[in-house]
Structure 1
Amino acid sequence: MFELRSNPDASAKADLLSGLTVALALIPEAVAFAFVAGVEPMVGLYAAFIVGIITAIFGGRPGMISGATGAMAVVMVALVAEHGVQYLFAAVVLTGILQISAGLLRLGKFIRLVPHPVMLGFVNGLAIVIFLAQLGQFKVLDASGSMVWMQGEMLYTMLGLIALTMAIIHFLPKLTNAIPSSLAAILVVALLVHGLGLDTPTVIDFVRSMTGDVNSTLEGSLPTFAIPAVPFNFETLWIVLPYSMILASVGLIESLLTLTLVDELTQTRGKGNRECVAQGSANLVSGFFGAMGGCAMIGQSMININSGGRSRLSGASAAMFLLAFILFGATLIEMIPIAALVGVMFMVVLGTFEWSSFRIVNKIPKSDAFVIVLVSAVTVLTDLAIAVLVGVIVSALRFAWEHATHMMAPSHIDQFGRKIYKVQGPLFFASTTSFLELFDANNDPEDVIVDFADSRVADHSALEAIDTLAERYLREGKRLHLRHLSPECRRLLHKAGNLVEVNLMEDPNYKVAVDELAG
């Protein structure tokens, strides 16, 4: 169950080298997200290690990378600013409990309700967010301590090194696959910068610009266990619960969508419910070890997959390499040029963005094209969870409207003089008006059969519509029969009591999907 080499097609060498590449790219992101949340850099680095190692070993998607993320960091900042970091740790613990509960309740299956246009909008918006996040690396501290845009030779050097990094990543796989191209690019650019003495920012320059402390370092110790120092009462619960609910939702949505994307890239299938439990466990542990928690990282996951990482070993090794850097190799990591890491992330942007969406935009329904653009825009302007929620709601409303206008009921008179209406289309809140307009109670014979073989009674509004129809025929002294109702429909009618005064005829047993597909 917990075998690190979970994928028989994976290579241990590829997994380890991919893990090293991911660990190098994790460091500046973890520091940046810690700064966004208003906490110390080590709080973000510890989260990248704890969340990364637990989800890699116990998660439902081998090869997917998790750690501290910007989507969750922007939710945390208000809590930290108002109540302090200890309340953040308490909120992260509660977040973990909520996510574990979601997994145990098998809610991971609901990610499959996300329509494909929403997925396209999600990855496009995320690619734009990753790109915009890298632009902050083009700022440096001036003499007054303010962040200003690079200019002159420093800017040109930065751009040249980024271009070199991207070129190595693109062309090296055409020559050899002995080493991940991203790792090779980082090493080559680092050697070039320090060999020629080029003036360009390094990882430690970035850390110091984030903290404002010229003595900042990435060197640290092992995270230690500590119960969050907050009062254990309802007032504390009232403070952290809203943040925990949002963090849990954001974390699970981003993780499960990333899982779906990696499924597509690797042509395999992850287990959503298991991933929910693993993400929750990681956040639960994070809160007790002074870390800010996190979720799946699509950018790092893309680096891992593109570098050959496929099994649990790749994610686990990335976390262990990161810890090793914190404990023993901080001085080496601090020397890595930021330009190399930006170049890696720019290649992730190019690989993440669905360029085919431009090609198909004139070939798909306008409503789907609108959803793609809408989700992309909301992702950039707000966050991923809100964007996905908006996209699903818009898609659901569009679906409801289209199906409400496609309700039909062709009719005929059988050999017994009964009129049979064969209802086609789902009967739900949006289609009830169209449904009632299909019947002619005044002119129909005394026996009328409504056949639901090609339909479905979906909600309370549908029951009310059937009750209204029954009353119309009762007023005319005629009998109304329902035929071919599924077991779900019959249960609705049974629960409705005397809401529906009809006779039931010939109700077959229809099979329905089960939860086992969600894992």
Structure 2
Amino acid sequence: MKFDLSNVRGDLTGGITAGIVALPLALALGVASGMGPMAGLYGAIAVGFFASLFGGTPSQISGPTGPMVVVLAGLFASLSGNVELILTAVIVAGLFQIIFGFLGVGQYIRLVPYPVISGFMTGIGAIIIILQLGRLLGHEPPGGTLGALIYLPTALSDINISTLALGLGTLIVAYKWPPFLAKFIPGALAALIIGTLASFLLKGIPVLGNIPTGLPSLHLPVFDRSQLFLVLEAAFILAVLGAIDSLLTSLVADNMTRTRHDSNRELIGQGIGNTVAGLIGGIAGAGATMRTVVNIRSGGQQRLSGMTHALVLLAIVLGLSPLAANIPHAVLAGILVKVGLDIIDWSYLKRAHTGPRWDFALMLLVLGLTVFVDLITAVGVGVVLAALAYVRQVAQLQIEEVNRIPETFSDPEERALFKRAKGRISMFSFGGPLSFGAAADLGHHVREKVKHGSQILILDFSRVPTVDVSAAMAVETITTDAKASGRELVLCGANEAVQRVLENINAHQAGIRSFTTRQEALAYAVDKVEGPGPDLKSQSVPDINQ
């Protein structure tokens, strides 16, 4: 493993700063997952260290994140708090990510459309806030988003004013902490310290309680046949969301450092980190945008910064964990509400009404599915709908190209040849990759637009780099229609790949003339319609529309 030590001072400064920022978030996200604060710290240490060591984004800081915690909290509720099975899901998620990296999946994950990303990130932010509302009111709501929402009226009927004041105060400190002080103590850490000290003046405030200290123990994977599908499903969701979260953060890091990350290597590093996290009792993690930004702004650029961040947290675990026992749940809830609010895509929500309505509707659909169904369904449905919408747009453009029957040509010779035909030739010029999206209407549009009285039909493939089977079958339909109506079909401009597909799929390809250029096809067609033969005027030409 090659290390770049050209920026040691900046990397150490960035790593230490990021470690301090990560402390309250790791504790809060660990509690939110149901696994406890130490699981959050162990996850931050393992993922933070190994993702930096083996990953493909040198300046990235990894650790527990909102999307991963939302999945873990749901799994915790589904498995009735079975820690070993939850850790098994984390280990398997890491193995999935390693496989993703070796298979080169990283380049495809980045193709997820922005409205889908915006919708599920906003949904995750909403889920985090919903899950913390009960704790802010002094209650411990049941697991799950719907359970927390259903329980909310009960919590509102019996509000613990002290807990609410402490949580809101923590939230205000985290948001309003002066920037000049943030250079020395980050806002989240200041909110954690101030909130914890303030809790000593209040009575009846629930706190974390006894927290074990020292090095973690080893947790080998455990498989329960009755719960195997649930564990594998959660592991796959964790792997996919962690991959998306990490690669989005990698793009942010690229923009700030003017570098380019290796997406597949990043997935392998994240996978190793999550596998180790599960083995030592930590929760799953991913690339963390806020911590990465803090690291880069503090001077961190290379792998050493992320590894330093993890070692800072390890030192805290070994020496200061007893102090964390006095941290109130309300303080962590206030910090998590800020995390949720930061995840929500406010910038897009403010401008959504000015953009395409379909994109905004897709974003809202993914948001709703994320909150009320599950994350993988939300992303899957969003990607499929976005892809179908894109195919439809491309198909419309391709059909518009088909409808542009060329009355004029840029080439004078082609224009002269087409005029000589006097309407006895119909030509259709296809544009761009001819795909299944346009195939359904292709034959219909050609049938409608072909000229009455035309004897030869020319299909121009000069601007078509590829065709799929659906498009080739549509061409076969056009071929059948042309032969049935007594017209001759001529192809021109098809490259070798297009010609091969058409010949292999089109059962009626035999007898169809094909020319390299459009001018050659026009010259042949003109000679054909002007040549000797029966008196065309005395014959009725079958109408392709009949």
Same amino acid, percent of matched pairs: 28
Q: Contact 1:14/1:180 (CA < 8 Å) preserved in 2? A: no
Matches within 5 A, 1:373-452: 373-406=364-397, 407-408=399-400, 409=402, 410-412=404-406, 414=414, 415=417, 417=421, 419-424=426-431, 426-440=433-447, 443=452, 445=454, 447-452=456-461
**1:475 partnered with 2:502:** no
**1:21 partnered with 2:21:** yes
Matches within 5 A, 1:146-185: 150-168=159-177, 171=178, 173=179, 175=180, 178-182=183-187, 185=190
What TM-score comes out, normalization by structure 1 length?
A: 0.77
Matches within 5 A, 1:46-57: 46-57=42-53
Divergent runs of 4+, >6 A: 4-9, 234-239, 305-308
Partner of 2:274: 283
Partner of 1:212: none
Partner of 1:60: 56
Partner of 1:217: 211
Partner of 2:542: none
Q: Which one-letter code corresponds to 1:207 in the other structure?
A: L
- How far is 1:303 from its partner? 6.4
**1:228 partnered with 2:226:** no
> Structure 1: how far apart are the matches of 2:290 and 2:371?
15
Q: Which one-letter code corresponds to 2:434 in the other structure?
A: L
One of 346, 359, 363 as aligned partner of 1:368: 359
Q: Which one-letter code corresponds to 1:22 in the other structure?
A: A
| SS of alignment partner, residue 421 of structure 1 | strand
Deviations 1:42-69 (A, max 9, x none): 5554333222221122223332423373
| SS of alignment partner, residue 431 of structure 1 | helix
- How far is 1:268 from its partner? 4.9
Q: Contact 1:31/1:45 (CA < 8 Å) preserved in 2? A: no
Q: Which moved more, 1:130-139 or 1:262-271?
A: 262-271
- How far is 1:433 from its partner? 3.5
Partner of 1:295: 286
**1:77 partnered with 2:85:** no
- How far is 1:367 from its partner? 0.8
- How far is 1:99 from its partner? 2.0
**1:115 partnered with 2:113:** yes
Q: Which moved more, 1:253-262 or 1:115-124?
A: 253-262
- How far is 1:22 from its partner? 0.8
| SS of alignment partner, residue 361 of structure 1 | helix
- How far is 1:365 from its partner? 1.4
| SS of alignment partner, residue 422 of structure 1 | strand
Partner of 2:101: 103
Higher gyration radius (CA): 2
| SS of alignment partner, residue 328 of structure 1 | helix
- 1:260/1:438 Cα in 2 relative to 1: closer, same or farther (>3 Å)? same
Q: Contact 1:16/1:313 (CA < 8 Å) preserved in 2? A: no
- 1:252/1:358 Cα in 2 relative to 1: closer, same or farther (>3 Å)? closer
| SS of alignment partner, residue 274 of structure 1 | helix
Q: Contact 2:472/2:505 (CA < 8 Å) preserved in 1? A: yes
Q: Contact 1:71/1:383 (CA < 8 Å) preserved in 2? A: no
Q: Which one-letter code corresponds to 1:100 in the other structure?
A: I
| SS of alignment partner, residue 207 of structure 1 | coil
> Structure 2: how far apart are the matches of 1:377 and 1:487?
47
RMSD: 4.1
Q: Contact 1:93/1:283 (CA < 8 Å) preserved in 2? A: yes
- 1:112/1:490 Cα in 2 relative to 1: closer, same or farther (>3 Å)? farther
Q: Which one-letter code corresponds to 1:56 in the other structure?
A: S
What TM-score comes out, normalization by structure 2 length?
A: 0.73
**1:356 partnered with 2:347:** yes
Q: Contact 1:182/1:307 (CA < 8 Å) preserved in 2? A: no
- How far is 1:330 from its partner? 0.7
- 1:490/1:49 Cα in 2 relative to 1: closer, same or farther (>3 Å)? farther
| SS of alignment partner, residue 373 of structure 1 | helix
- 1:248/1:124 Cα in 2 relative to 1: closer, same or farther (>3 Å)? closer
Q: Which one-letter code corresponds to 1:222 in the other structure?
A: P
Q: Contact 2:119/2:366 (CA < 8 Å) preserved in 1? A: yes
- How far is 1:479 from its partner? 4.3
Partner of 1:199: 202
Q: Contact 2:15/2:300 (CA < 8 Å) preserved in 1? A: yes
Q: Which one-letter code corresponds to 1:115 in the other structure?
A: P
> Structure 1: how far apart are the matches of 2:192 and 2:231?
43
- How far is 1:492 from its partner? 4.0
| SS of alignment partner, residue 228 of structure 1 | coil
One of 112, 115, 127 as aligned partner of 1:129: 127
Q: Contact 2:43/2:63 (CA < 8 Å) preserved in 1? A: no
* Structure 2: 5+ residue stretches without partners: 141-150, 408-413, 519-546
Deviations 1:294-344 (A, max 9, x none): 434556556666777655444323322332233221122334455655555
- How far is 1:223 from its partner? 3.4
Q: Contact 1:227/1:288 (CA < 8 Å) preserved in 2? A: yes
Deviations 1:166-190 (A, max 9, x none): 211xx2x2x3664253266247616
